[in-house]
Amino acid sequence: MHVRAIYIVLTILSFCPLAFAAGDGGGSADLAAQVKALQAQVAALQHRVELNEDYIAIHNLQTAYGYYVDKCEWDQVADLFAKDATLEIGLRGVYKGQDRVRAYLHKLPSLKYGTLFNHMQLQPKIDVAPDGKTAKGRWRAIMQVGILHRSAQWGEATYENDYVKENGVWKIEKLHAYFTYYVNYYKGWDQGGDPPPGPIPGFPPDEPPTETYKLYPDVYVPPYHYKNPVTGK
């Protein structure tokens, strides 16, 4: 039953015990129990609706991130992060706090003639905490990075992110992009991979990488934030 319809039914039923309170042979008690059960059902449905709305908001948040990154709109990207957020891209280390995230982003290239910087956000796996205040998400970014007549590369990054509802608005609390492959477009991945983007000169991270790993052709599976939905393992 639709949540609003249940509310209407509850409103009607709430007056019934008054009408049949006398000489109903216990009928009002049964009705009160039914109303109580319906109230519990409404509360459960309302909670499910809120969690679904949270899922959509987080999906839109991460998708917006991808579009802003595509166009190198770094302030737009930084505004998506929580005040105490962290950012870890590949093996460049961890940058802590929204101000440092913003400073890091402004060290990246700007969009200009002959520059391609696409980051497509795919395969979302979003899990909202029961209290609706935090969430985790796993995404896959397919990247096209190139500079006219100089370089062209394919790449893939698996995101394992944390999200937080800050003042009623979902924001990125932790963004961790694990690079899994980075290959020369002209050579193809059958010829092996390129190293990931290196450290930013003169702009060291606040902390070293939380994990060290090798990219394709080596094999590395970024850790999952969730259990298998079938086996629970």
pLDDT, tens only, 136-182: 999 999 999 999 999 999 999 999 999 999 999 999 999 999 999 99
Determine the average pLDDT of the residues in 117-122. Answer: 95
Share of the chain above pLDDT 70, in %: 88
| Average pLDDT of the chain, as a whole number | 89
Q: pLDDT value at position 174?
A: 98
210 confidence band (pLDDT: 50, 70, 90): very high
Summarised one tens digit per residue, pLDDT across range 41-60 is 877 778 788 889 999 999 99
> Which segment of 37-41, 210-214, 227-231 scores lowest on mean pLDDT?
37-41
Task: Give the separation between CA 33 and CA 55, rounded to whole angstroms.
Answer: 33
Pick from 201, 163, 195, 162: nearest CA to 179: 195
pLDDT given at position 121: 95
- For the chain, domains (ranges, CATH) are 1-233 (3.10.450.50)
pLDDT of residue 215: 96
**Confidence at residue 133, expressed as pLDDT on a 0 to 100 scale:** 96
Q: What pLDDT band is residue 14 in, cutting at 50, 70 and 90?
A: low
pLDDT category at 38 given cuts 50, 70, 90 is: confident
- Taking 50 as the threshold, does the pLDDT of residue 1 lie above it? no
pLDDT number for residue 146: 94
The interaxial angle of helices 27-70 and 3-13, nearest 10 deg, is 150
Average pLDDT over residues 116-124: 95
